[in-house]
Amino acid sequence: MADLQDDIPATVEIGADDGLPDDLFGDRRPAGELLERAHALLAEHPVADGYSGLPWALRHLPWYDLELGEAAIDTDVPRLREGHVGALFWSLHLSGETGGERAVTAALEQLDLVRTVVESHPEGLRLVGTAGQVIDARNCGRVAVVPGPAPGAALDDSLGILRVLHALGLRVLTLAGTAWAGESGLTRFGEEVVREMNRLGVLADVSGASPATAARTIALSKTPVLCSRSAARARRPHPANLPDDLLAALGEAKGLCMVPLTAEQTGPTVPDVADHLDHIRDVAGPECVGLSGTYDSGVVHPRDLADTSRYPHLIAELLRRGWSETELSLLTWRNVQRVLRSADFTARATQQRRASHARITELDAAP
């Protein structure tokens, strides 16, 4: 799936200000009651948002204050609190033509920007790298910022660079778009990348990857695999959405499909998004589904989901459909926490294993 463009257009919401009736979701009870229940539930189980394009979007602003509020973007601290967002994965965007050494430089610059932004907003944000740190941030009233996903190109085919990026905070890596994770699946070097990610505690993201790569990564990884921006292909035939067989495999491996709130992938309305969540829950199980706002990434969002403050409206629709509190707590918070804890546990358990110094020229050399 194509990543962000160099020049990000203003985020658009389909059907904004449509003059909808008070009973937005058609429930027999007033919509206000559902929304009130959604706010109460999210106060206990906040949203862990799997993808935010905020760092790249901020590069286009001459000045900003996320704690005061910033109308030029979709994300700021007041709206994060209004939407009950407790954790946010910040994408380390690389422009489409960035590769090789320039990709490494761009990734380092993005990590530096993430750190700078968080440090300049200490009352609202906190940089984290583990599940425990996410909980600590929440207990202190801060939104936890997890660096990643970063494109696989940022490694420049080097496991040493992977270790450096991890030491600087990277926690999620997207495998798609690399020479070692192509249409035919992971190469020998690609498999070594996944093993080293497991050793370090970096989560593998297979959104946009080929079915062969996704399937092999799910089978190989000792920690749960993420799809940071994938919905159900059965509901909408977008190339980045997952077919049912991959969803079932992901669920069996306790991975996590984080559904993007984009009109292109999930549809133009809140019920469309809920249809994807229903489908993934039914096919892969409630422990396999999460949320990925994809805010500040230049995409068009469904009606009533224009920014990070609008999550309660989606939860209200799921309440109308009969989702239990347990299922909703898994969707918003507990599934992401489980995946992060698994990555932390695996990394601690494999610390004694020697770091891999394999090279792509050695493992993937033509016979």
Distance CA 166, CA 163 (A): 5
Contact 44, 82 (CB under 8 A): no
The reported pLDDT for the residue numbered 367 is 54
The reported pLDDT for the residue numbered 94 is 81
Tokens of 310: 């609008």
Q: Which residues, 6+ apart, have CB-to-CB distance to 359 below 8 Å? A: 157, 189
The reported pLDDT for the residue numbered 145 is 98
Nearest of 281, 270, 257, 266 to residue 235 by alpha carbon: 266
With 0-12 CB in 10 A as exposed, 13-18 as middle and 19+ as buried, what is 63? exposed
Residue 181, SS3?
A: strand
Distance CA 197, CA 221 (A): 9
Q: Considering the entire predicted model, what is its pTM?
A: 0.90
The reported pLDDT for the residue numbered 100 is 72
Q: Tens place of pLDDT for every residue, the chain, 367 residues? A: 433 333 434 445 554 444 333 444 344 456 789 999 999 999 999 999 999 999 999 988 999 999 999 999 999 999 999 999 999 999 998 876 556 789 999 999 999 999 999 999 999 999 999 999 999 999 999 999 999 999 999 999 999 999 999 999 999 999 999 999 999 999 999 999 999 999 999 999 999 999 999 999 999 999 999 999 999 999 999 999 999 999 999 999 999 999 999 999 999 999 999 999 999 999 999 999 999 999 999 999 999 999 999 999 999 999 999 999 999 999 999 999 999 999 999 999 988 888 999 999 999 986 5
What is the DSSP annotation of 251-298?
A: HHTT-EEEEE--HHHH-SSHHHHHHHHHHHHHHH-GGGEEEE--BTSS
Scored b (16 or more CB within 10 A) or e, 83-111 reads bbbbbbbbbbbbeeebbeeebbebbbebb
CA torsion, ordered 212, 217, 218, 223, to nearest 10 deg: -170
Contact 303, 16 (CB under 8 A): yes
Contact 257, 300 (CB under 8 A): no
